[in-house]
Amino acid sequence: MNTLRTAMLLAAMTALFMGVGFLIGGTGGMMIALLIVAGMNLFSYWNADKMVLSMNGAFEVDERSDPRYYRIVQGLARSAGLPMPRVYKIDTPQPNAFATGRNPENAAVAASTGLLRQLSDEEVAAVMAHELAHVQHRDTLTMTIVATLAGAISMLGNFAFFFGGSRDNNNPFGFVGVLVAMLVAPFAAMIVQMAVSRTREYEADRRGAEICGRPLWLASALDKIARGAERIPNPDAERNPAMAHLFIINPLHGERMDNLFSTHPSTENRIAALQQMAREMGGAAQPARREAPAPAAADEPPAGPWGKATPTEPARPRPNPWGRNPTGPRNAGRKGPWS
């Protein structure tokens, strides 16, 4: 299904690219666009991940340069049964993360410096587990190629503005065709949003929660990232909006609605789904006679990627909807189970 989905998506993006070429330069423009997009499809398959990382200013880290971050990813990859991906950081204060790569053997994960500073070890683990779920589901190939082609369509629209009005360009629609091409380009990101199904985010949330073992870690992380993305701009993402769907939370401003044209489901809906998952996981360990799990056990799964569960502590007042405060006194000075 992933192979079929990728092929259909590439065909649709290719047709769109050729259509814009036809509006700009007629049959000759369409043929030139076909040659360009064929080359881009081939180039994107092998290099889209490198382009996405470069456009976001990502730089690679290893166990020596950032042992905390690297070991978290290493433990999660081992738990998920995945090859160790390349690990990158993005130098931006906005908390966010994404994954890229054409397959699990050539995957990369990237987290922003803002995310690594603002989130606890548990929350960072949950976010990276979500990104590894995208790698495991092979979503990254489709997402990175779509980002590259959508950016190319936008550039073609800009080309139409400067060069599409020439009388000798064999354009059967004249300046009207150029105007249509210019209007198509701004909608490239919207087409990406419709083409890349938002159900992937729900599936990655669920699988990521399974990998890290704690759905409420991811729920807490999503809330912090969403609030951070509202306040803190991401200039690289703003310059390249076609890449917005790659991130765990939309890095752009003004796209909060859970509708057909949004890149992500609403954060509130994702948190609600994770809370329901936590209740189900907690309920599985309770006696059959109980109708619902005790609140203190809601985020206590049988095990995490490091092979054992965190010991259960006595119930205490809960400062947030997730049942625990990963950055509170309870975790002060405590190392994560991956260290």
pLDDT 10s digits, 145-193: 776 677 677 777 666 666 555 544 555 566 666 676 667 666 765 666 5
How many domains is the chain partitioned into structurally? Answer: 1
Which tokens go with 147? 């980002």
On whether residue 319 sits in a domain, the answer given is no
On whether residue 271 sits in a domain, the answer given is no
Average pLDDT over residues 26-40: 79
Q: Which of 109, 63, 57, 68 is nearest to 86 (CA)?
A: 109
Q: What is the chain's mean pLDDT, rounded?
A: 76
Mind giving me the DSSP string for 208-270?
HHHHHS-HHHHHHHHHHHHHHHHHS--HHHHH-GGGGGGBSS--SSS----STT-SS--HHHH
Q: Answer yes or no: are the C-beta atoms of 184 and 209 closer than 8 Å.
A: no
Residue 130 is labelled as binding a ligand: yes
On whether residue 171 sits in a domain, the answer given is yes
In order of 121, 174, 239, the CA distances from 150 in angstroms are 35, 24, 13
Which residues in 121-141 are b (16+ Cβ under 10 Å) and which e?
bbbbbbbbbbbbbbbbebbbb
Average pLDDT over residues 280-298: 46
Q: How far apart are CA 5 and CA 10, in angstroms?
A: 9
Q: Which region among 6-20, 60-74, 219-233, 300-314 has the lowest average model confidence (pLDDT)?
A: 300-314
> Beta strand pairing status for 86-90 and 108-112?
parallel
Q: Please give the angle made by the CA atoms of 101, 227 and 195, to the nearest 5 degrees.
A: 40
The reported pLDDT for the residue numbered 297 is 38
Average pLDDT over residues 19-26: 74
The reported pLDDT for the residue numbered 40 is 76
Indicate whether 308 pLDDT > 90: no
**Residue given tokens 């779509």 in the structure block:** 146
On whether residue 79 sits in a domain, the answer given is yes
Q: Give the residue numbers spanning the domain of 9.
A: 2-246
For the chain, the helix, strand and coil percentages under 3-state DSSP, each to the nearest 5: 60, 5, 35
The reported pLDDT for the residue numbered 286 is 39
The reported pLDDT for the residue numbered 72 is 97
The reported pLDDT for the residue numbered 279 is 94
On whether residue 131 sits in a domain, the answer given is yes
On whether residue 309 sits in a domain, the answer given is no
Which tokens go with 293? 């799990």
Cα Rg of the chain, angstroms: 22
Q: How far apart are CA 112 and CA 251, in angstroms?
A: 11
Alpha carbon dihedral 138, 6, 56, 125, in 10-degree steps, equals -20
- Three-state secondary structure string covering 52-89: HHHHCCEEEECCCCCHHHHHHHHHHHHHHCCCCCEEEE
Neighbours of 247 (CB within 10 A): 25
Indicate whether 21 pLDDT > 90: no
For residue range 201-220, list pLDDT tens digits in order: 999 999 999 999 999 999 99
The reported pLDDT for the residue numbered 138 is 87
The reported pLDDT for the residue numbered 114 is 96
Instruction: Indicate which residues carry an active-site annotation.
Output: 131
Percent of the chain with pLDDT over 70: 65
Indicate whether 316 pLDDT > 60: no
Going across the sheet that includes 58-61, the strands are: 58-61, 86-90, 108-112, 97-100
Q: Which region among 37-51, 168-182, 211-225, 261-275 has the lowest average model confidence (pLDDT)?
A: 168-182
For residue range 227-258, list pLDDT tens digits in order: 999 999 999 888 887 788 889 998 987 554 45
Report helix, strand or coil for 93: coil
The reported pLDDT for the residue numbered 296 is 36
Residue 60 is labelled as binding a ligand: no
On whether residue 278 sits in a domain, the answer given is no
Indicate whether 334 pLDDT > 80: no
pTM of the model: 0.71
On whether residue 63 sits in a domain, the answer given is yes
Report helix, strand or coil for 47: helix
Amino acid identity at 281: M
The reported pLDDT for the residue numbered 90 is 96
